[in-house]
Amino acid sequence: MQTKDLAMVESKALKTSGRLLKVARLNDEYYVPIGDPTAFISKLIAAGIKADLFTFVQELHDPKPKYPFRQEWDSMAVLPLTTYEHWFGKQINFKPRNKIRKAQKNGVETRLIEFTDDLVKGIMEIYNETPIRQGKRNWHYAKDFETVKREHQTFLERSDFIGAFHNNELIGFAKVTHVEKCSILMNIVARIAHRDKAPTNALIAKTVEVCAGRGSSCLNYGVWGRRGLNDLKVASGFERVEIPRYFVPLTFKGRLALKLNLHHRLVDYVPERCILLAAALRGRWNDFRYQKRDSEPGDKAAGTTMR
Sequence ranges of the domains in the chain: 7-74+243-269, 78-240
Residues 145-187 pLDDT 10s: 999 999 999 999 999 999 999 999 999 999 999 998 899 999 9
Q: What stretch of H or E contains 66?
A: none
Radius of gyration of the chain (CA): 21
Provide the pairing of β-strand 169-179 with 159-166: antiparallel
Q: Which CATH superfamily is domain 78-240 in?
A: Gcn5-related N-acetyltransferase (GNAT) (3.40.630.30)
Query: How far is 3 from 23, CA to CA, in rounded Å?
Result: 9
Query: How far is 275 from 273, CA to CA, in rounded Å?
Result: 5
Chain mean pLDDT for the chain: 86
Query: How far is 112 from 176, CA to CA, in rounded Å?
Result: 11
pLDDT value of residue 268: 64
Q: Name 35's Cβ contacts closer than 8 Å, sequence gap at least 6.
A: 10
- Residue from 205, 226, 267, 246 nearest 76 by CA: 226
Contacts 24+ apart (CB under 8 A), 193-197: 193/129, 193/305, 194/108, 194/166, 195/307, 196/106, 197/102, 197/103, 197/106, 197/107, 197/108, 197/166, 197/171
pLDDT value of residue 271: 64
pTM: 0.82
pLDDT value of residue 230: 75
Task: List the chain pLDDT tens, one digit each, 307 residues.
Answer: 444 567 888 888 899 988 889 999 998 898 888 889 999 999 999 998 999 999 999 988 888 999 999 999 999 999 999 999 999 999 999 999 999 999 999 999 999 999 999 999 999 999 999 887 877 788 889 999 999 999 999 999 999 999 999 999 999 999 999 998 899 999 999 999 999 999 999 999 999 999 999 999 999 998 887 554 578 899 999 999 999 999 999 999 999 999 998 887 766 666 666 656 666 666 566 566 655 444 333 333 333 332 2
